[in-house]
Chains A and B, each alone.
Chain A
Amino acid sequence: MPKRTYRPLQMHRIPYTDLTEAQVLQALRPGVNGPWGLARTSSALAGKTIRIVTDEGGPQLEYRFRTDRELELIERGGKAVKVGYGALEDRELVLVSHLIPGTARGYSLVLDLASGLATVFELTFNGYAAAETAAAAEAKREPQFKNGRRNREVQRKVWFGYIDQGRSPPTARHGWTNRLEGKGIAWTQDNDVEILEFYLSVTYSNIIELTRFGGEMTVCAPSDYIRVNDHQFIYSRIECEFTGTFTLQVIDLFDMTQRGVRLGLTEKDELEYYLYTGKGVVTGQTATFEVFGNNSETRGPRRVYRPLETFEVMTDAEVKDHVLNHAHAFGDGKGSGAAGMGGYKSERVMQFAGRKLAVRMEGGGPSIDYEFVDGGKLKWRYAGDANWREAWYEMYEPDEELYFFAHLLDAEFPRSCAMVAFDMKNGLSTLVKGTTGTPFRNNETTPHYYFGTFRTDGSPTPPTYLRHGWTDEMVGECVTWNYQPGNPGLTSMHFYATPSTYSWIIFQPDGSGGMQWSSPGWYSKLRDGVYIMAWVEEACNGTLGVICFNQRLMHDAGFGYHVGRNGLSLSVIGARARHAGKYDIKRYLGIKV
C-alpha cells in the first residue's frame, strides 16, 4: 500500500543546490547504464538498426540496438557511442530513453513503428542560463534569473520526424495538440507512485504528488502535448523552478495506461532515472476556451514562468519603511485601488455610515469595535481599548445581507489588515487577518483565519455552537475569472486543487490555457454556495488575495494585500466568473495514512 510522505518543505521552499557542470556530470554517470524500472523493457528494437531524420535541422540519429538494454548511437555521421537504454511499448509505439556517456545530454524518443513517425526529445542539462539569456535578448527583456549556474534543470528540444526506411519519407508528423487540454487523470504507477495530473493548459500542467509530497499542494510545470492519434498522446513536463526533473510519457486513453520515463536530479542531488508504467482513471474534463477548429497544432513557443527567480526579495529595513511610510488602502479613500483586479467590482455598500459594529472572533482572534464614519472611513479599536484609530475601508455585499469589508490595522512592523465578513441573517462573522512577512520572505504575506460572531443594530442572535468553518466543497472546481472587459483581457482560471492549495492558469490570446502557477490556499464556507477563499502567492510576489465567492452570482468581492517596491497596498478585487468544470478528486485528498 503506497504511503503518503509529508514534507517539512513544499517544492517551492526547498533550497535546491546550484550544481556545477562537474557535479551534474558526476551525478549523471550511473545513467549510462540506462534507466532502471520495474516494468519489463521492450525487446521490439533489439537487433535492429534505425535511422531517424528530424525536421528543421534537428538531430540525425542512427541507432543500432544491439540488445534490449544496449545500443550504439551515431549522431550526424559521427563516431558511434555505446550506451545502455530502456524501452517500453504501447501498441505500435516504443518509448526509448538513454543518456550519452561523458556528457550531460541524452535522448528520449517515441517511435511509431506502424506509421514510421518519430518524435525526439533532445535533452540537456547545463543549458538554462545560456538559453534564457538568449531568449531574453531576443525578446528585449531581462533574463528570468539572477545569479548562479542553473545546471540542474533539464532542457528539452522537441523534434518531429520519421524513421528513414529508404523510401519516400512520410509527410505526416506527430504534432502539437490541445486534445488533452482540460483532462485530469489519477495515475497509479508500477513503482507505487500515485499522482494526480491535470492538463489545464496547452503549455503547462498541474500535478499533485500524493505519495512523494502527501498531496497537500499542487505545483505547475511547463509541458508539451503531442498527438499521435485520437487516443495516444505524448506528454512531457519539466519541474522548472524545483528539481528541474523531466518527465515524458505516452498516454493511451483507450486502456488508460501510461509508459513513462523520469530523468532528473533529486533535491538530494541524486540521479533519478527510471521507466515506469501506470494505470489511470479520468478524474474529469473541464471546458476549454479556444474557438472551435483551433486544435493548437500551431501553438507558439512553450514559455517558462520563473517566479522564484524573479521574485525581488526585500530586506527587513525596506519592508519596514514601506509598511510604515508608504501604506495605502483603496487609494487613501479615493478608490484608486480598483485598478487591475477590480474591474468588475460591485457597488460599494454605504449604508453602514454612522452605525456601529462589534466583531468577536474566537480561537485567539481579535475582537474589534467599529464606528463607520462614512462610506469610506471608519474608526476601530480592539475591544476594551480606549484608543480609536481611523482607517480607509471599502465594503461590498457578495450575497444578500452578507457584507465584506477590509481596512489596515495599526502602523507597525510587520503590518496587518483585517478583512471582515458578517452575515446579517445569522450573526456569524469571519475575519481574515493578513500580515506582512513569512518565515521565508519579508515581502510575502500570511493569512490567519478567525471565526466568530458580531453585533450591530438589527443583527440576529448568533447560533451557540455553529460557526463559519473550513470546507472542501470547492475542491476540484475550475472557475474562470475575468477581471476587466476584454477577451481574454485580464482573465485567469482558478483550479481549486486541494483543501490547501489552488493554481491559476493565464489564458493566451487565442483562448488556450497558457502559463500557470500555484500557491497555498484556504477555503471557508459562509453559506451554501458562498465561500471565502484566500491564497498567498508565495515565492511569487507575496500577495494575499481573499475573495468571497458567490457561486449563485458567479461573482466575487475581495481584497488584495501586497507589499513591494511601490509600498504596502490594500486594494479591491472584483471579477466575473464562469464555471469551467470539476474534477472528482476528493477521494484522493485529505488526511491519509
Chain B
Amino acid sequence: MSSTNRRDFLRSGGSALGAGVAAATGMGAATAEVATPLDAAVHAAAREAIRHVHRDFLAASAADSAAMTYRPRIAAQPDRIAVAYDGRSAQAVFHVEAETVTPLEGESTLVRMARLQGHVAERRIEAGQLEAEYVKRDDTWQIATLRFVAA
C-alpha cells in the first residue's frame, strides 16, 4: 500500500467500506483479544488479518498529505479486537494519535501574512482512539465503519 493514498485505499473497497476516517493498528501496543468459544485458530487468523488491514490503512493515511493521519499510541488500556462468533464481523478499538491538517482560510491580513511566511495550514495532534467495525467479504476483511474519538 505504500504507493496508495488514503482515498485510493477507501475507494478500492478491497479493504474498506465507506469508512469516514482512517485507521491505525495497534502496532507496538499490547493487544488484548476477546476470547470466543469457537475455533481459536480461525479467530487468531482473523485478528491477524484485521491487523494487516489497519497497517495498510495507516500507511495510506500517512501517504495522503491532505488528510488526517494516525499513528499508534501507547495507552493505559491495550488495543482490542473482538471477532464475532460466526467469524464474519469484528470490532476493534485502536489507541492512536491523530494529526489533522486544516488549511488557513480567509483573506484577513493576519491570514495573508501567515501564508506568506509558509504557514498555510494548521496542524494539530490529538490523542484518542479509533473505533472500527469490520466485515469479511469474499474472504477479505474490510472496514465497515470507523470513527475517531478524542481521548
Q: Name A residues whose Cβ lies closer than 8 Å to a Cβ of B.
A: 203, 300, 303, 305, 307, 339-341, 483-490, 492, 504, 506, 508-509, 514-515, 517, 537, 540-541, 543, 560, 564, 566
Contact = CB atoms under 8 A, between A and B. Distances in A.
Contact of B114 (A339, A341, A506, A560): A506
A483 B111 CA distance: 11
A560 B109 CA distance: 12
Contact of B104 (A487, A490, A504): A490
A483 B124 CA distance: 15
Contact of B117 (A339, A341, A485, A506): A506
Given A340-B105, A340-B106, A514 B111 contact: no
Given A508-B119, A509-B119, A490 B109 contact: no
Interface string B88-112: 0000000000000010111111111
B108 A506 contact: no
A449 B114 CA distance: 31
Given A486-B122, A489-B122, A506 B113 contact: yes
User: Which among B102, B106, B114, B118 has the highest number of chain A CB atoms within 10 Å?
Assistant: B114
A541 B117 contact: no
A537 B106 contact: no
B119 A543 contact: no
B116 interface: yes
A300 B119 CA distance: 12
14 contacts: A300-B117, A305-B113, A307-B109, A340-B110, A483-B110, A486-B124, A490-B111, A504-B109, A506-B113, A509-B119, A515-B117, A517-B109, A541-B108, A564-B107
Contacts of A543: 108-109
A582 B118 CA distance: 29
A303 B108 contact: no
A568 B124 CA distance: 33
Q: Is the interface of B mostly helix, strand, loop or mixed?
A: mixed
A540 B110 CA distance: 11
A535 to B, nearest CB: 10
User: Which among B104, B109, B111, B124 has the highest number of chain A CB atoms within 10 Å?
Assistant: B109
B110 A506 contact: yes
Contacts of B106: 339-340
Given A486-B124, A506-B114, A541 B109 contact: yes
A514 B111 CA distance: 13
Nearest to A141: B116
Given A340-B106, A340-B110, 5 more contacts: A340-B105, A340-B108, A506-B117, A517-B113, A541-B112
A215 B109 CA distance: 25
B110 A508 contact: no
B124 to A, nearest CB: 6
B124 A490 contact: no
A303 B112 CA distance: 13
Contacts of A305: 113, 116
Contacts of A508: 117-119
A515 B105 contact: no
A509 B120 CA distance: 10
Given A339-B105, A340-B105, A490 B116 contact: no
Contacts of B110: 340-341, 483, 490, 492, 504, 506
A144 to B, nearest CB: 8
Given A339-B106, A341-B108, A543-B108, A515 B113 contact: yes
Contacts of B117: 203, 300, 303, 506, 508, 514-515
Contacts of A564: 107
B92 to A, nearest CB: 29
4 interchain residue pairs of minimum CB distance: A340-B106, A486-B122, A506-B113, A514-B117
A490 B114 contact: yes
A341 B106 CA distance: 9
A506 B106 CA distance: 15
A543 B104 CA distance: 19
A592 to B, nearest CB: 31
A234 B119 CA distance: 27
A492 B108 CA distance: 12
Interface string B117-147: 1110010100000000000000000000000
User: Which among A486, A540, A560 has the highest number of chain B CB atoms within 10 Å?
Assistant: A486
Contact of A509 (B105, B111, B118): B118
A488 B119 CA distance: 9
A489 B122 CA distance: 6
Contacts of B111: 340, 490
A40 B84 CA distance: 90
Nearest to A484: B122
Nearest to A564: B107
Contacts of B122: 484, 486, 489-490
A451 to B, nearest CB: 28
B133 to A, nearest CB: 30
Contacts of B113: 305, 506, 514-515, 517
A536 B117 CA distance: 23
Contacts of B108: 340-341, 541, 543, 560
A303 B119 contact: no
A537 B110 CA distance: 11
Nearest to A540: B109
